[in-house]
Structure 1
Amino acid sequence: MIIGYARVSTKDQSFNIQLDALNKAGCVRIYKEKVTGAKDDREQLNRALETLREGDKFVVYKLDRLARSTLKLLKVAEQLEELGVELISIQDNIDTTTPMGKAMFRMLSVLAELERDMIRERTKSGLEAARVRGRKGGRPKKNSKKVEQALKMYSTKQFTIAEITDATGVSSSTLYRGLKP
């Protein structure tokens, strides 16, 4: 059986291009979801992987739809290999049913990891340079008076969370953190 997987990162993005390509590739069943690639726990991907059996083909439009990190991509590839399932990435021209496809897959994984490491290194260098110039990174500090005001409003049980956050500018998550003992 040929199983497909499609993923978009935001609600505004469309599946159309991916679905057209997966259907053209002969996918009998296609699992799709709208979730960021950075998130490891993806329900539809897990369902697709559970559906696969020995001799099946698992088709994605592009490898970055399957995983953002090389480690996650290699874990999925290992899982597919253990199951006896071949991986096909349409846009990347990777088909692990061939020796060349397997080699290309592993090379692309290494290059993707290199790119991610280079981005991390540039970001780290940029932050260090900014610190030397006296700039601080990170989130702005919470206004403790506003948080205290939000907590007092909450304790009166006269206001909804939305009303409290509107009045104080304190986010609901900050309010809930303040309520924890």
Structure 2
Amino acid sequence: MKGVILNLVEEAVVETHGEAVWDAVLGHAGLEGAWTSLGAYPDDELPRLVAAGSELLGAEPERLARDLGRHAAQGLARRHPDYFARCEGTLPFLRSLDDVVHREVRKLHPDAAPPRFSWSEVGGPVPGGGAAMDLHYRSERRLCWLAVGMIEGTASFYGERTEVRHEACQLDDAPRCTLRVTTRRG
């Protein structure tokens, strides 16, 4: 896992709960927390942080990962506005993840192993207006709730409301997660 994601998690916890809570989470997770944004770190560090934060904050792990993902998307938008400026909304951005965003990540960081995304259109009208697609997420890290939060944070960046429903999940032994993403303006 790249350090930038771990840095964004630290930023989220410190901004929301303060340095003392972050230090407690690190201690509970048995981690030092000295990550550089370009460094590569063991894949188990983020799940350990989520588990420790969940215990210390009394939050469900999925909910905490989702909240961290929302914050991480906003942080990525601040750090890499060019990736977000290429698209006019959440769904076009999600369609570009593997072909544009993650391809650039792999060029800059050949050792990176970002999740794999594919997508399919949802036919027919969306109740209440808006647009929808199925986003297919596959990762050995199985951090789908972080991905859900990142989708929600991306929608917030574009000024859209979003609903993300798990239609299938790797955590339930599906080969990939299928996330039904519905967006509406405003």
TM-score past 0.5 threshold: no
TM-score with structure 1 setting the length? 0.32
> What is the TM-score with the length of structure 2 in the denominator?
0.31
Which is higher, the Rg of structure 1 or of structure 2?
1
Q: Which gives a bigger RCO, structure 1 or 2 (Cα 8 Å, sep 6+)? A: 2
